[in-house]
Amino acid sequence: MAVIKLTEENFATETSNGLVLVDFYADWCGPCQMLGPVLDELAVEVTDVKITKVNVDESKPLAKQFGVTTIPNITLLKDGDVIHQDVGYKPKEALLTLIETYRK
């Protein structure tokens, strides 16, 4: 599955069910650019978790709603509720560990 781009219009629908990893990012952000290919790989390998992204410049209300002040910001949601938030670049192994922690 490919990384799903979230907007204010589809956010609630796409994140309301199951485990969803949300990357709050911006195109101009260097660490965000490094994280992009990692998320692409993750989206192919982890089929039971939605891997998504929100452009903070295009969806400022969503960034504000989730208290995003630093990017990249990785937010993990379960059935629409925040269960984990972290900032900064993370390697694939760290993201896999994070997913595994909350997968149950």
pLDDT of 103 reads 85
The pLDDT of residue 1:
83
CA 83 to chain CA mean position, Å: 12
- Could you give the CA distance from residue 72 to residue 79 in angstroms, rounded to a whole number? 22
Active site residue 32: yes
List the domains of the chain with CATH numbers.
4-102 (3.40.30.10)
As averages over each run of 10 residues, the pLDDT of the chain (104 residues) reads 95 96 98 97 95 97 96 97 97 96 86
Q: Which of these, 20, 63, 57, lies nearest to 42 by C-alpha position?
A: 20
Active site residue 90: no
| 47: Cα separation from own chain's centroid | 15
**32, 56, 62, 76: which one is catalytic?**
32
